[in-house]
Amino acid sequence: MSTLNKITNSVRESLDVLAEGWQDLWHKARHAITHFTPTSDDENTGGNRWGLLSAELLEGRDEVTVSIEAPGLEKQDFEIFVDNQTLVIKGTKQSSTERNEGHFHISERAYGRFERLVPLPCEVDEGETRAIYKGGVLTIVLPKSKEAQPRIISIS
């Protein structure tokens, strides 16, 4: 094998490893990184189109609790539903201030419409689900469906 072929094969292998690493990172982060679609009011704010809505999912014996950090919103800004064992959280984050002068040097906030998907570990009872928004954190409590709850067997 010529030196050129060895270098070509080495570069291909390196690119394959790099692509695999990026694909693994994207797979792990794809649910946390949220795309924001700017509304007409938000297009001139200079904000990001991608943001992080950090989440925690806790599975208890009888329920699943999902908490999402979503500061700067009001409870009416959210739409929440379950679709095919996935919790769907949609909303709109509006730019809060109007600026007539100056320019941004740093703008890491994201504004506009967003959708966050959280895969659920089991089937839940949507009809009994409740949500609370307090201190910038949206907490959704989803009772497990009767089929998903553990059944206690007593010994006679």
Regions of the chain short of the pLDDT cut 70:
1, 27-32, 40-48, 96-100
Tally of helices (H runs) and strands (E runs) in the chain: 1, 9
Dihedral sign (CA 99, 103, 105, 111): positive
Residues 47 and 122 in one domain: yes
Strands 33-37 and 50-52, by their bridges, are antiparallel
To which residue do tokens 């794809």 refer? 30
Identify whether 63 is part of a domain. Answer: yes
Distance CA 144, CA 98 (A): 44
Whether residue 155 lies inside any domain: the answer is no
Question: What pLDDT does residue 31 have?
Answer: 66
Residues 8, 46, single domain; the answer is no
In a domain, 149, yes or no: no
Residue 24 lies in domain: 1-30
pLDDT at 40: 67
Looking at the structure, tell me whether residues 75 and 112 fall in a common domain. Answer: yes
Answer whether residue 154 is part of any domain.
no
- Here the tokens at position 142 are 């989803």
pLDDT digit string (tens) for 81-120? Answer: 999 899 999 998 877 666 667 777 777 777 889 999 999 9
- Clarify whether residues 107 and 129 are in a common domain: yes
pTM of the shown model: 0.69
Q: Which residues contact 67 (CB under 8 A, 6 or more apart)?
A: 55, 56, 58, 137, 138, 139, 140
Per-residue model confidence (pLDDT) at position 80: 96
CATH number, domain of 129, equals 2.60.40.790
Q: Are residues 1 and 66 in the same domain?
A: no
Query: What's the first-to-final CA gap in the chain, in angstroms?
Result: 76
| Domain match, 136 and 83 both | yes
Q: Per the structure, how many domains does the chain have?
A: 2
pLDDT at 138: 97
148 domain-assigned? no
Q: Domain check: are 26 and 48 in the same one?
A: no
User: Which residue in 26, 117, 108, 111 sits closest to 68, CA to CA?
Assistant: 117
One domain for residues 24 and 55: no
- The letter for the amino acid at 120 is L
Taking the C-alpha atoms of residue 59 and residue 55, their distance in angstroms, rounded to an integer, is 13
- Residue with the two structure tokens 């740093």: 106
- Residue 152 placed within a domain: no
